[in-house]
Amino acid sequence: MEPVFNLQIAAQAQGDGAAEGSGGQMNAAVYNGAGGLFGFAGGLAREGRVPVTVGTMPTHGPMFALLLVGIIMIVTALTFFPALSLGPIAEHFLMQAGVVFR
């Protein structure tokens, strides 16, 4: 909801009267992507079940659990890696500049 408020402030600051009567346009801009997502979800819901074959992976075994936990750990590590690597890198450059941390 905050972007709509910012658009209204920007339109009032310009003084062109765009903030008056443009609620429908702003709602269309904010909720534009929802229609496509609902259409995509409806298309997936209409599809039938895929029969179990050699190429399908069962979701009730330990292999699925290991892959799921492994992927979650990798994504989490990649999320925190930039923050962990920037600390030592920044400290190295500051040390080269003569700044010492005690």
In the chain, what's the furthest Cα-to-Cα distance?
A: 66
Query: At 59, which helix (H) or strand (E)?
Result: none
pLDDT tens string 45-93: 999 888 888 888 888 899 999 999 999 999 998 888 887 777 888 888 8
pLDDT tens string 15-57: 555 555 577 887 787 788 788 889 899 999 999 888 888 888 8
Distances (CA, A) of 31 to 27, 35, 86, 100: 6, 7, 37, 52
Q: Tell me which residue has tokens 């040390």.
A: 95
